[in-house]
Amino acid sequence: MVPRKRLLITRRLTEAVLARIGRDYEGVLNTDDRPLTGDEIVARAEGCDGVICAPGDPLDGDVVSRLPDSVRAIATFSVGYDHLDVAAAKQRGIRAFNTPGVLTDSTADITLLLLLGAARRAFEGQRMLRAGQWAGWTPTQLLGRSLAGKRLGILGMGRIGNAVAHRARAFELEIHYCNRHRLGADRELGATFHTSPRELMRGADFFSLHCPATPETHHFLDAERIDWLPDHAIVVNTARGAVVDDAALIDALRSGRIAAAGLDVFEGEPDVHPGYRALDNVYILPHMGSATIETRDAMGHRALDNLDAFFAGRNPPDSIE
Ligand code: 8YV
């Protein structure tokens, strides 16, 4: 019998995924699910053929360069791979995989939740009720903003941007987008293409970020670009925290330069800029975009599909670069 491949799993995954790992691999598990340091990842990867890592794992160039020679593949349990130095892996001949596609719907769902939560002042309503401070309905209580007929500006019209547009159409939002390439008419479905973010943002009643975190998008939404938005704009981020300059966004939310924000991701997670906590006009969630049982199962299975294919000498579906 061929010995089973050994996999380091840096975080605790769902039961179904752990069951598959237990059946097909020798798993080196992180049972208490404490985030591992780079040194711990290197040490635990000893004798492993592959690694399943996740956002937050510090797989930078240094850590990747120190992984044991036995490691031939890294599958990240995510679509984003800003935590993994893919170039460093490539240099060592380590193949890298991610999990695109399977988390599109759940992330798009959370985007709409944040958009609605921010537009309809859900945080303030929840707080009032939970504190026992609701004295009853009034005609002017907690007035938010309607969606129908307004413009949603989407920056990054990939899978998730498209799925957000699909949902937003049901809310009668007018879809505008900016993307590296214009979509074909069959995928654009009447959405308006803008050639520059500035052009997109200046008419956006709602503005949703769907671009990856790269050196080019780092702090994309800074004070200068926030000024491109109308005063009543509502910003949503389910992409990556690093795309936003937190200090600038907090200033704009505090001063009323923009109306509100809905955020699922933060630079330096799990540390969240304390300025957000004091603001009523920000609706925040702790990186829950893909957090459904179905999606987390699918992400784990997708990571394993890639590794199974790789170790069997077949073509894995989701090679990064
Ligand atoms: C996280 C994500 O991986 O896939 C991504 O890029 O951001 C999410 O799916 C997941 O929520 C764990 O933090």
Looking at residue 184, its pLDDT comes to 97
Q: Is 269 a catalytic residue?
A: yes
- Ligand 1 contacts CB of residue 289 (under 6 A): yes
Neighbours of 308 (CB within 10 A): 16
> 174 CA distance to ligand 1 centroid (A)?
28
Question: Is residue 239 a contact partner of residue 209, using CB atoms and an 8 Å limit?
Answer: yes
How far is 66 from 92, CA to CA, in rounded Å? 10
- Could you state, in chain order, the average pLDDT of each consecutive group of 10 residues for the chain (321 residues)? 92 98 98 97 98 98 98 98 98 98 98 98 98 98 98 98 98 98 97 98 98 97 98 98 98 98 97 97 98 98 98 97 80
Looking at residue 303, its pLDDT comes to 98
H/E stretch holding 251 = helix 246-255
How far is 2 from 113, CA to CA, in rounded Å? 48
Looking at residue 122, its pLDDT comes to 98
- Ligand 1 contacts CB of residue 197 (under 6 A): no
Nearest CA to ligand 1 atom 2: 78
- Ligand 1 contacts CB of residue 300 (under 6 A): no
- What SS3 class is residue 282? strand
Where are the CATH 3.40.50.720 domain residues in the chain?
Answer: 6-102+292-311, 104-284
Catalytic residue among 44, 287, 301, 302: 287
Neighbours of 51 (CB within 10 A): 28
Adjacent-strand bridge partners of 244 = 221
Looking at residue 59, its pLDDT comes to 98
> 138 CA distance to ligand 1 centroid (A)?
40
Question: Is residue 276 a contact partner of residue 244, using CB atoms and an 8 Å limit?
Answer: no
Query: Rounded to 5 degrees, what are φ and ψ at 86?
Result: -65, -35
- What does pTM read for this prediction? 0.96
Nearest CA to ligand 1 atom 12: 55
- Comparing CA positions, the residue from 274, 276, 198 lying closest to residue 237 is 276
- Ligand 1 contacts CB of residue 78 (under 6 A): yes
| Superfamily name and number for 6-102+292-311 | NAD(P)-binding Rossmann-like Domain (3.40.50.720)
Q: Which CATH class is domain 104-284?
A: alpha beta
Q: Is 159 a catalytic residue?
A: no
- Ligand 1 contacts CB of residue 55 (under 6 A): yes
Looking at residue 321, its pLDDT comes to 80
> 11 CA distance to ligand 1 centroid (A)?
12
How far is 55 from 238, CA to CA, in rounded Å? 14
Looking at residue 3, its pLDDT comes to 87
- Ligand 1 contacts CB of residue 287 (under 6 A): yes
How far is 178 from 199, CA to CA, in rounded Å? 9
